[in-house]
């Protein structure tokens, strides 16, 4: 009976936790309290340009998944609350608007949309530029701030950079109120700018870096601990929290976090990990255990190539081993026929039961090509028949050896073949 | 009730044009008085205000009477005029049109040619009119009185009475900033010796503010207080307006087109708490009035003038915003001194544009015009459908919608600290009063231009200006042109025409013809046609538009952007000045010193030898630029400015960079101080917190600008990322080649991990990390589909990597490989 009652609680708790994990505002809310975070710096920067009527341009730099966009969204959300109709946001993405004319058009479209003006698709790019400058002036007179957000900023810095020039030049020559915020994961994004554009850019940079281990631990606690005021039953929440605290103090937990952050310590990676953890929650009791974390970690650390090596057939493994032997013999260029020769010689030497016809081997070969474990050595010669095109291995011999070791159905002779030539 | 009254009135004479405009203006004025908020506010105020003002009847009622009666008066007036002289009937309307159509009154108007031809003879426009003893000129601000009612006709007291002793004159009076009442210095308790500095509130207002009840002195019985014009205006018994133009009607009466001012109570937002007592809004509502109704001058000033005005009398008002009577929103007044052309800009009178358009279309639109404002809004919406705001034709439609419903409080109530003032003056957009350090160059430019245009034959000339970005090239040329413009206005120079083009703002180099032609003639044609016309104009002297033989000064910024493959655009542009009667002067600006050498010889020979170099600023000049901007603001330590300017001078000599660094430093200081204020603790060290920008802030700002962030990112890489970077440095030293195959790299990493008892990462994990590093361009790498054949290369010097990774706490063993 207790279990029956717990089950809906478990799914409820899961829902609560998942909701939190998917809400960037909640994830980054601890940033709001401290003055040294990027959140408060960016907020000060944008808010002061709103309230003091000045122009600014700032770059947010950092690897992907460090929360550049999320922090910016939070800042904009807050500012929209503080200054209800004094802000209009124009969003551009370098992937979509790398062409200057189309970017200009989209700026005009978004400006029209936000100020309830009608927009013409037919207007030329000169018209759109003039319109933008007029709008910037009018908005400046009306104490309205226009915030341009340029995602993938580095892609705007290609070509003549007309868009950036006209934006930044308008900002230095008009009494407008505009903020240009560029986001990029390229650290040298400002070096890409042409010198006259760079001179107009105001070179504010905020660097987003992956968080340290302590921060990650506190973030995990912030995300997973349930608070008493929620809809969930109180005794469940207390039990859940006490279990979680004991997990956090567990020695193994530290190890799990360590091995997770060794590879990737960005916030988005942590969130993905925690989402898996929540999914492994025990449905009966609705509690998390250390096993949830270990399972989630192994999920995160999957090696796709090893996995696909695991489910190859014996014949395909033979083909790979043959290719590996050929490469070890320093034969630089080989094709299917060379492989078949090697295969035949092995079969003759060892008299295994895995002797197949050439057509069957060719099917295995094609399959390997499809799985991209091997590939053609060059892109030319498309009209040559498949068996004569030179190929190469895409996996390293170490990976191959490891997968053979793990594969239980693999005949010992194969491992020997690989080992033999290694120690020969 | 007002709303219902107007349409019926106008329907009685629906087709006559003058009634239409009057009704429209009446409706527009009614907009001001219809909102209910102002009424209640004003009533509550009349209770709080001294009882002496109470005898005045509630002003809204009177105002609305005025609104109703003015049209009647005019309606009666117009028919009589009709009898006298029929053609003069539509007089007000054509002037409206004419103003829109073209600035010169002689231009014929499309709609009614017959009448127009006769009208200009009968109607005389004036710049200045002496009327009733006062001299009125266009651009003056005046009080306008209501026509009927006896009291407004009575003599206005020029001097205000003291609120305590109720006698006027005699001594120096001081004005309370809260109730605007005047007080003799000796009547105030305790008496004042001098006029106090800054804001001063009378004891009564201060007591009220503090919540104490205090009796204001009652006026002597039998003597009603005489209200000054200012008080009447502020209680909306008078109107203020700005004269836009003056003319005499054929029947000899003097008329003026005026732009109304409005008091805060009559706007849709009502009086806002931060409104000043003497604040007025300029509206975009124009009307034609008779000169008789003009009372006398008043002075409406911009914030700056208002601040500087000390003893200008009682009729001084403050005006910072424009109020759109149709959209009920506010906009800051554009700085007219800075850009005089905005006056001619059609967007400046946006509503009139729509008004005109309406009256030109057909009869039906007249009805829409006369209906309530709501209906008019919808009508305008339909109309603007055809005119998309971003297309050329429709640009002026819709922009008037941009504005704010209420003036944001944070703008008005905010007292700027020194640091904030410093930030504002350091903005690139703020135009400095003087341009230091470029006197020689400016002198050269101005002699060049003057030489070119003062000679009667006006030889075509060409000047090439070059210099690195941020050395004031464009700014100097523009400053020279401004100076010349003022000389032109004073009549010391021949008229000329100045065209400014930026090469980087043109969609394609060929568009330059289009832009030039459009600026000369006002027409828009394709670039090929424009080129044809321009060539004709410059070589054969064919006239374009109304421009006759004025010299043309063509400023081309970013000249190098006009380079096409066969350089034909530059050739054409530079060829024109060499034509005998071209009257063209070209000033080209670009960054590269050797642009003429890079061009084809036939172009560089046409460019001439006249060049002007703007060298990078040295640190003294930068320091002078910054200090001249910061004059009077005590926000920077002297060493801090010197440090910043030395640093920038050593790097680039870019003035923009220096200003931005100082502004950033001010931002840092401001941020620090605000954080301290928030946390409530006193600044910790005397050096870092006394409210000025110190060396540390400048240092931080310079760090941010000049230091690449890669070392920080490398320091914060995940562990395996660090190992990969170290392995790359290792491989680089071992092989001497920049590129390394991923296969080899992975083998090194795995062997290191094995030796140093780290967890062995998977191949795919390493590949992923490699790709991530490649994304932030710490390393350059090929795409990940190449798997083990992926080539990887460091993007930063290996010393940086070594420096960043040498002492990483989580990988102590790494340093032995570096």
**What does the pLDDT look like over A333-390, one tens digit per residue?**
888 988 998 899 888 888 877 788 889 999 999 999 998 888 888 777 677 888 888 8
Collapsing DSSP to helix, strand or coil, B583 comes out as coil
Task: Name which of A28-32, B42-46, B308-312 the model is least confident about.
Answer: B42-46
Q: At how many degrees (to 10) do helices A314-328 and A336-350 cross? A: 100
Collapsing DSSP to helix, strand or coil, B151 comes out as helix
Q: Which residues of A touch B424 (CB under 8 A)?
A: 52-54
**Sign (positive/negative) of CA torsion A286, A287, A291, A295?**
positive
d(CA A344, CA A346): 5
CB contact under 8 A, B402 and A138: yes
Task: Name which of B235-244, B523-532, B636-645 the model is least confident about.
Answer: B235-244
From B558, B143, B778, B746, select the one nearest A187 (Cα to Cα). Answer: B778
Question: Does the pLDDT value for residue A62 go beyond 60?
Answer: yes
How many Cα atoms occupy the beta-carbon half-sphere of B264 within 13 Å? 19
**Stretch B209-228: mean pLDDT:** 65
Alpha helix (H) ranges present in B34-58? 36-48
Task: Judge whether B233 and B227 are in contact, CB under 8 Å.
Answer: no
Looking at the complex, report in whole angstroms how far the Cα of residue B134 sits from the nearest Cα belonging to chain A.
35
CB contact under 8 A, A187 and B708: yes
Q: Which residues of B touch A128 (CB under 8 A)?
A: 390
d(CA B271, CA B42): 9
Which has more confidence, B36 or A188? A188
CATH class held by domain A34-207 = alpha beta
Q: Shortest CB distance from A165 goes to which of B504, B667, B765?
A: B504
Question: Closest-CA residue in chain B for A44?
Answer: B671
**Stretch B491-510: mean pLDDT:** 83
CB contact under 8 A, A196 and B469: yes
pLDDT value of position B99: 36
Q: Shortest CB distance from B764 goes to which of A117, A119, A304?
A: A304
pLDDT digits (tens, 9 = 90+) for A290-309: 889 999 999 888 888 888 88
What DSSP string describes A340-392? HHHHHHHHHHH--S----HHHHHHHHHHHHHTTSEEES-S--TTS-GGGS-EE
Strand ranges (DSSP E) for B503-601? 552-557, 584-590
pLDDT digits (tens, 9 = 90+) for A45-55: 998 888 888 88
CB contact under 8 A, B763 and A392: no
d(CA A368, CA A366): 5
Question: Closest-CA residue in chain B for A210?
Answer: B716
Task: Judge whether B657 and B687 are in contact, CB under 8 Å.
Answer: no
Residue ranges of domains in chain B, CATH in brackets: 2-149+231-386 (2.30.30.490), 439-614 (3.40.50.300), 622-706 (no CATH), 710-817 (1.10.10.10)
d(CA A321, CA A373): 12
Domain limits, chain A: 2-21+212-302, 34-207, 307-423
Q: Which residues of B touch A143 (CB under 8 A)?
A: 332, 404, 407-408, 411
CB contact under 8 A, B390 and A62: no
Q: Shortest CB distance from B423 goes to which of A54, A261, A262?
A: A54
A110 falls in which pLDDT band (50, 70, 90)? very high
Looking at the complex, report in whole angstroms how far the Cα of residue A398 sits from the nearest Cα belonging to chain B.
9
CB contact under 8 A, B424 and A142: no
Q: Shortest CB distance from A210 goes to which of B429, B502, B716?
A: B716
Q: Shortest CB distance from B429 goes to which of A35, A55, A199?
A: A55
Question: Does the pLDDT value for residue B35 go beyond 90?
Answer: no
pLDDT value of position B150: 42
Q: Which two tokens stand for residue B649?
A: 């001078």
Looking at the complex, report in whole angstroms how far the Cα of residue A348 sits from the nearest Cα belonging to chain B.
32
With an 8 Å Cβ cutoff, is B331 touching chain A?
yes
Which has more confidence, B770 or B144? B770
Q: Which of B320, B321, B390 to mutate to test the interface with A (most CBs of A within 10 A)?
A: B390
Q: Shortest CB distance from A262 goes to which of B331, B710, B718?
A: B718
d(CA A389, CA B347): 70
**CATH number belonging to the domain at A307-423, selected among 3.30.70.20, 1.10.1740.10, 3.40.630.10, 1.10.10.10:** 1.10.10.10
CB contact under 8 A, B761 and A263: yes
Q: Shortest CB distance from A301 goes to which of B678, B762, B795?
A: B762
Collapsing DSSP to helix, strand or coil, B416 comes out as coil
Contact residues, B window 725-744, toward A, CB-based 8 Å cutoff:
743
Which has more confidence, B503 or A330? B503
A152 falls in which pLDDT band (50, 70, 90)? very high
Question: Does the pLDDT value for residue B645 go beyond 80?
Answer: yes
Question: Does the pLDDT value for residue A106 go beyond 90?
Answer: yes
Task: Judge whether A283 and A325 are in contact, CB under 8 Å.
Answer: no
Contact residues, B window 280-319, toward A, CB-based 8 Å cutoff:
none
What DSSP string describes B173-185? EEE-TTT--EEET
CB contact under 8 A, B398 and A195: no
Q: Which residues of A touch B398 (CB under 8 A)?
A: 115, 117-118
Q: Which residues of A touch B775 (CB under 8 A)?
A: 63-64, 185-186
pLDDT digits (tens, 9 = 90+) for B333-383: 765 444 333 333 333 333 333 333 333 333 333 333 333 343 333 434 444
Question: Does the pLDDT value for residue B110 go beyond 50?
Answer: no
- For chain A, what percent of residues have pLDDT higher than 90? 21
Question: Closest-CA residue in chain A for B432?
Answer: A173
d(CA A299, CA A338): 39
Question: Closest-CA residue in chain A for B764?
Answer: A303
CB contact under 8 A, B768 and A398: no
A134 falls in which pLDDT band (50, 70, 90)? confident
CB contact under 8 A, B392 and A119: no
**Stretch B786-796: mean pLDDT:** 87
pLDDT digits (tens, 9 = 90+) for B37-94: 333 333 333 333 333 333 333 333 333 333 333 333 333 333 333 333 333 333 333 3
Looking at the complex, report in whole angstroms how far the Cα of residue B807 sits from the nearest Cα belonging to chain A.
16
CB contact under 8 A, A199 and B656: yes
What DSSP string describes B613-676? EEPPP-HHHHHHHHHHHTTT---B-HHHHHHHHHHHHHHT--HHHHHHHHHHHHHHHHHHHHHH
According to DSSP, the residues that pair with A93 across neighbouring strands are A151
Residue B683 is classified by DSSP as P
Q: What ipTM does this complex have?
A: 0.90
CB contact under 8 A, A162 and B504: yes
Question: Does the pLDDT value for residue A215 go beyond 80?
Answer: yes
**Stretch A203-209: mean pLDDT:** 88
Q: Which residues of B touch A390 (CB under 8 A)?
A: none
pLDDT value of position A150: 94
Looking at the complex, report in whole angstroms how far the Cα of residue B79 sits from the nearest Cα belonging to chain A.
42
CB contact under 8 A, A120 and B398: no
pLDDT digits (tens, 9 = 90+) for A76-94: 999 999 888 788 999 999 9
Say how many CB pairs under 8 Å bridge A and B: 259
B143 falls in which pLDDT band (50, 70, 90)? confident
Round the average pLDDT of chain B to a whole number and report it: 71
Task: Name which of B112-126, B291-305, B689-703, B743-757 the model is least confident about.
Answer: B112-126
Question: Does the pLDDT value for residue B114 go beyond 70?
Answer: no
Which has more confidence, B603 or A362? A362
Contact residues, B window 767-806, toward A, CB-based 8 Å cutoff:
768-769, 772, 775-778, 785, 787-789, 795
Question: Does the pLDDT value for residue B498 go beyond 80?
Answer: yes
Which has more confidence, B457 or A390? A390
pLDDT value of position B199: 66
From B640, B785, B804, select the one nearest B716 (Cα to Cα). Answer: B804
Q: How far is CA A195 from the centre of its chain?
A: 32
Looking at the complex, report in whole angstroms how far the Cα of residue B697 sits from the nearest Cα belonging to chain A.
14
Backbone phi and psi for residue B128, each to the nearest 5 degrees, phi listed first? -135, 140
CB contact under 8 A, B394 and A131: no
């Amino acid at each position: 009976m207790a279990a029956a009652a717990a089950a809906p609680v478990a799914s409820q708790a899961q829902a609560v936790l998942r909701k939190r994990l998917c809400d960037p505002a909640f994830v980054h809310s601890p940033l709001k309290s401290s003055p040294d975070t990027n959140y408060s710096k960016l907020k000060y920067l944008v808010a002061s340009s709103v309230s003091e009527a000045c122009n600014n341009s700032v770059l947010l730099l950092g690897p992907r998944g460090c929360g550049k966009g999320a922090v910016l969204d939070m800042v904009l959300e807050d500012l929209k609350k503080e200054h209800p109709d004094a802000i209009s946001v124009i969003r551009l993405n370098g992937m979509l608007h790398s062409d200057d004319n189309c970017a200009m058009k989209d700026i005009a479209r978004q400006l029209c949309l936000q100020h309830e003006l009608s927009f013409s698709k037919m207007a030329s790019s000169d018209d759109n530029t003039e319109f933008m400058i007029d709008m910037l002036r009018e908005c400046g007179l009306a104490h309205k701030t226009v915030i341009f957000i340029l995602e993938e900023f580095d892609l705007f810095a290609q070509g003549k950079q007309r868009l950036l020039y006209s934006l930044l030049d308008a900002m230095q020559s008009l009494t407008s109120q505009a903020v240009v915020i560029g986001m990029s994961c390229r650290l040298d994004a400002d070096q890409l700018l042409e010198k006259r554009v760079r001179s107009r850019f105001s070179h504010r940079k905020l660097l987003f870096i992956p968080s340290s281990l302590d921060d990650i631990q506190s973030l995990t606690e912030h995300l997973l601990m349930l608070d008493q005021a929620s809809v969930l039953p109180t005794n469940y929440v207390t039990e859940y929290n006490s279990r979680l605290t004991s997990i956090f103090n567990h020695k193994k937990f530290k190890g799990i976090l360590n091995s997770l952050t060794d590879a990737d310590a960005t916030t988005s990676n942590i969130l993905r990990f925690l989402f898996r953890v929540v999914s492994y929650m025990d449905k009966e009791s609705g509690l998390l255990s250390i096993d949830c974390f270990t399972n989630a970690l192994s999920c995160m650390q999957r090696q796709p190539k090893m996995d696909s090596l695991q489910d190859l057939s014996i014949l395909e493994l033979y083909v790979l081993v043959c290719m590996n032997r050929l490469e070890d013999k320093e034969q630089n260029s080989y094709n299917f026929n060379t492989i078949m020769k090697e295969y035949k010689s092995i079969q003759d030497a060892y008299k295994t039961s895995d002797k197949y016809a050439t057509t069957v081997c060719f099917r295995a070969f094609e399959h390997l090509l499809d799985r991209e474990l091997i590939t053609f050595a060059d892109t030319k010669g498309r009209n040559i028949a498949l068996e004569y095109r030179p190929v190469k291995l895409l996996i390293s011999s170490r990976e191959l050896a490891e997968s053979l070791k793990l594969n239980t159905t693999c005949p010992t002779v194969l491992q020997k073949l690989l080992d033999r030539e290694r120690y020969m | 009730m007002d709303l219902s009254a107007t349409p019926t009135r106008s329907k009685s004479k629906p087709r006559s044009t003058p009634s239409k405009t009057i009704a429209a203006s009446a409706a527009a004025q009614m907009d001001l008085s219809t909102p209910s908020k102002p009424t209640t506010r004003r009533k509550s105020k009349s209770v709080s205000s001294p009882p002496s003002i109470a005898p005045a009847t509630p002003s809204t009622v009177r105002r609305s009477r005025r609104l109703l009666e003015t049209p009647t008066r005019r309606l009666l007036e117009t028919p009589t005029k009709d009898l006298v002289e029929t053609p003069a009937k539509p007089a007000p309307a054509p002037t409206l049109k004419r103003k829109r159509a073209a600035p010169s009154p002689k231009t014929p108007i499309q709609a009614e040619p017959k009448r127009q031809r006769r009208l200009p003879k009968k109607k005389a426009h004036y710049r200045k009119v002496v009327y009733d003893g006062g001299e009125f000129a266009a651009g003056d601000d005046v009080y306008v009185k209501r026509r009927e009612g006896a009291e407004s006709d009575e003599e206005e007291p020029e001097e205000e009475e003291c609120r305590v002793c109720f006698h006027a004159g005699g001594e120096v009076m001081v004005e309370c900033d809260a109730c605007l009442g005047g007080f003799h210095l000796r009547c105030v308790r305790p008496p004042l010796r001098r006029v106090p500095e800054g804001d001063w509130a009378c004891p009564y207002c201060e007591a009220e503010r503090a919540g104490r009840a205090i009796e204001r002195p009652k006026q002597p019985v039998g003597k009603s207080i005489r209200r000054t014009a200012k008080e009447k205006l502020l209680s909306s018994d008078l109107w203020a307006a700005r004269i836009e133009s003056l003319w005499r009607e054929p029947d000899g009466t003097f008329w003026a087109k005026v732009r109304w001012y409005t008091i805060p109570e009559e706007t849709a937002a009502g009086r806002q708490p931060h409104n000043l007592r003497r604040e007025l809004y300029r509206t975009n509502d124009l009307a034609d009035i008779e000169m008789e109704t003009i009372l006398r001058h008043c002075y409406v000033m911009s914030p700056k003038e208002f601040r500087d005005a000390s003893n200008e009398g009682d009729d001084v008002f403050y005006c910072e915003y424009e109020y759109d009577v149709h959209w009920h929103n506010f906009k800051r007044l554009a700085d007219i001194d800075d850009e005089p052309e905005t006056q001619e800009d059609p967007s400046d009178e946006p509503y009139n544009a729509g008004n005109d358009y309406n009256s030109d279309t057909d009869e039906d639109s007249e009805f829409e015009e006369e209906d309530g404002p709501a209906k008019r809004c919808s009508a305008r919406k339909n109309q603007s459908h055809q005119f998309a705001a971003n297309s050329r034709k429709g640009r002026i439609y819709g922009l008037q919608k941009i504005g704010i419903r209420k003036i944001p409080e944070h703008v008005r109530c905010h007292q700027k600290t020194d640091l904030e003032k410093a930030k504002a003056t350091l903005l690139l957009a703020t135009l400095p009063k003087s341009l230091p350090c470029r006197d020689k160059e400016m002198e050269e430019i101005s002699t060049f231009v003057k030489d070119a245009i003062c000679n009667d034959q006006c030889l075509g000339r060409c000047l090439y200006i070059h210099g690195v970005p941020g050395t004031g090239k464009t700014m100097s040329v523009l400053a020279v042109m401004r100076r010349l413009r003022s000389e032109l206005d004073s009549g010391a120079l021949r008229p000329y025409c100045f065209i400014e083009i930026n090469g980087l703002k043109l969609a394609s180099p060929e568009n330059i013809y289009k832009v030039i032609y459009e600026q000369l003639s006002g027409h828009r044609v394709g670039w090929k046609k424009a080129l044809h016309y321009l060539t004709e104009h410059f070589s054969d002297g064919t006239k374009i538009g109304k421009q006759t033989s004025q010299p043309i000064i063509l400023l081309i910024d970013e000249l190098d952007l006009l380079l096409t493959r066969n350089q034909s655009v530059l050739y054409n542009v530079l060829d024109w000045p060499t034509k005998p009667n071209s009257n063209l002067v070209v000033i080209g600006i670009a960054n590269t010193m050797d642009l003429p050498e890079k061009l084809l010889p036939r172009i560089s020979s046409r460019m001439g030898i006249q060049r002007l170099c703007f060298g990078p600023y040295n640190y003294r000049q930068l320091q002078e630029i910054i200090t001249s901007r910061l004059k009077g603001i005590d926000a920077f330590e002297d060493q801090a400015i010197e440090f910043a300017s030395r640093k920038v001078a050593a790097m680039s000599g870019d003035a923009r960079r220096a200003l931005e660094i100082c502004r950033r430093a001010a931002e840092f200081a401001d941020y620090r101080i605000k954080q301290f204020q928030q946390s409530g603790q006193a600044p910790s060290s005397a050096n870092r917190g006394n409210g000025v920008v110190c060396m540390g802030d400048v240092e931080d700002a310079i760090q941010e600008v000049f230091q690449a962030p890669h070392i920080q990112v490398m320091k914060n890489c995940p562990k395996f990322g660090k190992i990969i970077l170290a392995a790359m440095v290792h491989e680089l030293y071992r092989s001497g080649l920049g590129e390394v195959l991923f296969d080899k790299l992975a083998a090194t990493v795995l062997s290191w991990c094995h030796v140093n008892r780290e967890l062995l990462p998977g191949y795919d994990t390493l590949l992923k990390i490699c790709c991530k590093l490649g994304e932030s361009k710490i390393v350059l790498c090929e795409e990940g589909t190449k798997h083990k054949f992926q080539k990887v290369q460091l993007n930063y010097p290996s010393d940086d990597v070594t420096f960043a990774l040498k002492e990483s706490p989580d990988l102590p063993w790494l340093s032995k490989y570096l």
